[in-house]
Structure 1
Amino acid sequence: MAEVPVTTTPVPIQNAATTAKTSWLDGFVADNPYFQAGFGLMAMGVGLTVLRQGVVVSTSALQRRLLVSLEINNKDKAYEWFLAWMAHQSNAPAVVKNRAASWIKSHQLSVETMVEQRKNGSSSAVFKLVAGPGNHYFRYRGAWMQVKRERETRAMQMMSGTPWETVTLTTLSRDRNLFTNLLLEARDLAMKSQQGKLVIHTAWGIEWRPFGQPREKRPLQSVVLGTGVAERIQQDVKAFLDRRQWYADRGIPYRRGYLLHGPPGSGKTSFIQALAGSLSYDICIFNLSERGLTDDKLFHLLSNVPERSFILMEDVDAAFNKRVQTSEDGYQSSVTFSGFLNALDGVASGEERIIFLTTNHIERLDPALIRPGRVDFCELIDDAHPEQARTLFQRFYGGGQAITGLSDSEVESLAQKLQDMVQSEWDAGKRVSMAALQGHFIRTEPQNAVDTCYILFK
């Protein structure tokens, strides 16, 4: 007879203490009338809330002890420097020797567009990609840092209409000294990009901002003006810059206005640009026909010009028609003629300022605009004189036979021929602009440039 196997299931042996505790808890929950009424659940909720708040407070206290933050708002100059530094780091090659910062690529980008609208209808735009709102991370000199860019869209700057923005850097408290090094590096990078170059500023709301990339300085001798014209303007500007204390001792406002007038293409703007570069000055271009410009904005902008900058206002004869400011499409802005005059020379006008005005029609300017105190130096920049044409020809085609294929004597002979031709046309009442001559020389060879020059005269 076969034996039937018997399977036994082991019965878990519970610890007496555990069983007793579980039974007590079950009994307390089941038998306690207060707990069943909800007070017990409320007490548990309060306890969990207190525990949660304790964790939050402990975490915040720990962060305050271990972390340090630096806030930079968009009204501070370091704001633009740091954003430019961020863009430079993110666009740098992945492997660079002795690189101080390693960047974690971010998919949150923001574009800054600057548009220049010219009077002839053409325009140009410059795009700059920077880190957008959100969190970004990078490693700087061995220390991890968090960058948090925030934008307040509900609160706008009253005058410019741009939103308030802040950039907050966070790192370990032990690395707080790296903030200074980083900002210095960002500043040096910004200064390095502008060193030895000309920076063009344009009005952005109530602020001056650089437009585009810094430009190479144009040599002063590359702009050929009439005999002694460039020297007179340059000497007057230098004398003004050297007499700051002289103005202060006599209580005279330290500002000076220049008016360069003459036909189009004579080199007025080119000379101002070259003069600014020779003196290591920047240029602030002011458009009086800008929509939304008011007297208050005009006063603020002219009183807060960047240091070592010329203010350039071109074609001022077209800005005001019968003392009313109008644009080419007939739009009238809020800037009044009296407000413009007071901004140049009035109670609200700023100090330490050099303004250059240009016009093609000086006869259209109101006498109140060009009186002394508003315009202190007036100079005619005329069409090409015979000597100017000769000098420009020599600048283009001189330099030896290896460059032009002509000897120095051949270049001088052609230059004299050109001078005689320009003199003959000048005596006949015909003129040619320096811009037209320059364009003609660019397109053709020396001999042909002289032989066909007659077609340029009007």
Structure 2
Amino acid sequence: MLFADRNVDDNLISCNKVILLHGPPGTGKTSLSKALAQKLSIRLQSRFIKGILIEINSHSLFSKWFSESGKLVSKMFSQIRDFVEDQKFLVCILIDEVESLAHAREKCMSGNEPSDSIRVVNALLTELDKIKIHSNVLIFATSNVTGAIDLAFIDRADIKEYIGLPGVQAIYQIYYSCIQELLKAEIIQPKVIIQQCPDLVELESSDIYKNDKKLLKISEASVGLSGRSVRKLPFIAHALFLQTEIATLENYLEALLFAVEYQKTNSKYF
């Protein structure tokens, strides 16, 4: 936006306003894109009267009719430009699972992919080049399969950020939020205090934080699972490993550890 305001020649310094978030499934790429769009609309409210998030459903853009899919992509971007041309709007575009739209053309030509999918990629790249002249647009793309994305699209992405699996601290925070919700719902009783941001060194050296230590060990055992999987485990723990509706925190943490082991065992088959 600064470069556009200062009339920097985009033929000399290229900026396509495309951010590609890639990494394993369940790591929050789509949620992060939506959160960033929301944050931008708040930060830039002095400049824009309204923020708009447009989510592109890739699967709805493919037609059974020959050459129709490329036309659908062009028509969709034509509708998006109606919003973009109003400089009072901040327009964020989210293309989830972008490999569906920007599938590698080399693989299409060498395999059994229909030639219509090549037209879709060509149309998408053309529309990206057209829309980049506007200073009030930002495009988020997410992908779990970077090897399937066309190199021309990857080349157009200004920022390519890897979103990996959560570490111990992040997993602890997820479990903490889940336990707080279960305490609020009185599924875990009685009310107990557990630290949100524990000092790991202090935990190791003290006997006071017994439950915090257990949760930390469960978090360490959960490393390698996606954020989406970790958020499911508090439910699985209660559904499969508790025989009562209401549980103490100690019993619940034991069930949660069983749920982690259960999840890791099952993941080996997929």
Taking a change above 3 Å as real, the CA distance of residues 301 and 288 of structure 1, as seen in their structure-2 partners, is farther
Structure 1 Cα separation of the partners of residues 261 and 170 of structure 2 = 16
Change (3 A) 1:298 1:270: same
Could you list the per-position Cα deviations for residues 26-71 of structure 1 after superposition, in whole angstroms to 9, with x for gaps in the alignment?
xxxxxxxxxxxxxxxxxxxxxxxxxxxxxxxxxxxxxxxxxxxxxx
> Does 2:242 align with 1:442?
no
State how many pairs are aligned: 203
Q: Provide the secondary structure at the position in 2 that maps to 1:336.
A: helix
TM-score by length of 1: 0.39
SS at match of 1:279: helix
* Cα distance in 2 for residues equivalent to 1:401 and 1:285: 35
Mapping for residues 31-430 of structure 1, pairs under 5 Å:
243-244=1-2, 247-252=5-10, 256-280=17-41, 281-289=51-59, 290=61, 291=63, 292-293=68-69, 294=71, 296-305=74-83, 307-323=89-105, 332=116, 335-346=119-130, 349-351=132-134, 352-371=136-155, 374-398=156-180, 404=188, 405-408=191-194, 409-423=209-223
* Residue 318 (structure 1) shift: 2.6
Distance change (3 Å), C-alpha of 1:258 and 1:433: same
TM superposition shift of 1:311: 0.4
Tell me how far apart the structure 2 counterparts of residues 381 and 310 of structure 1 sit (CA, whole Å). 20
Provide closer, same or farther for how the CA distance between residues 436 and 401 of structure 1 changes in structure 2, counting only shifts above 3 A. Answer: closer
Query: Taking CA–CA contacts closer than 8 Å with sequence separation of 6 or more, which of the two structures ends up with the larger relative contact order?
Result: 2
Q: Is the 8 A contact 2:24 2:163 kept in 1?
A: yes
**Residues 320 and 259 (structure 1 numbering): CA distance in 2 closer, same or farther, change over 3 Å?**
closer
User: Quick check: 1:455 aligned with 2:262?
Assistant: yes
Shift of 1:254: 6.9
Counterpart of 1:370 in 2: which secondary structure? helix
More helix by share: 2
Q: Which runs of 5+ in 1 are unaligned?
A: 1-242, 424-430
Offset of 1:331 from its aligned partner? 9.8
Q: Which residue of 2 aligns with 1:167?
A: none
Change (3 A) 1:340 1:257: same
CA distance 1:339–1:452, shift in 2 (3 Å): closer
Go from structure 1 to structure 2 and tell me whether the alpha carbon gap of 1:416 and 1:378 turns closer, same or farther (over 3 Å shift): same
Report the Cα distance in structure 2 between the residues aligned to 1:377 and 1:436, rounded to whole angstroms: 27
Deviation at 1:335, TM superposition (A): 4.3
Larger-gyration structure (1/2)? 1
- Using the alignment, how far apart are the partners of 1:267 and 1:378 within structure 2? 15
Give the partner amino acid of 1:297.
K
What amino acid is the match of 1:248? R
Which residue identity does 2:91 align to in structure 1?
S
Classify 1:269/1:358 alpha carbon distance in 2 versus 1 (closer, same or farther; 3 Å): same
Once residues 57 and 3 of structure 2 are traced to their aligned partners in structure 1, the CA distance between those partners, rounded to angstroms, is 32
State the Cα deviation string for residues 75-106 of structure 1 (Å, max 9, x = none). Answer: xxxxxxxxxxxxxxxxxxxxxxxxxxxxxxxx
Structure 1 letter corresponding to 2:235: I
CA displacement at 1:313 relative to structure 2: 0.7
Distance verdict in 2 for CA 1:401–1:320, change over 3 Å: closer
SS in structure 2 at match of 1:249: coil
Q: How far is the alpha carbon of 1:269 from its aligned partner?
A: 1.0
2-structure distance, mates of 1:440, 1:376: 36
In the superposition, the TM-score normalised over structure 2's length comes to: 0.63
CA contact (8 A) 1:256 1:375 kept: yes
Q: Which whole-Å deviations, capped at 9, do the CAs of 1:290-342 have from their partners, x for residues lacking one?
A: 134415414413423462231011112133444269xxx97946943222112
8 Å CA contact 1:260, 1:268 repeated in 2: yes
What letter is aligned with 1:300?
S
Q: Which amino acid aligns with 1:359?
A: S
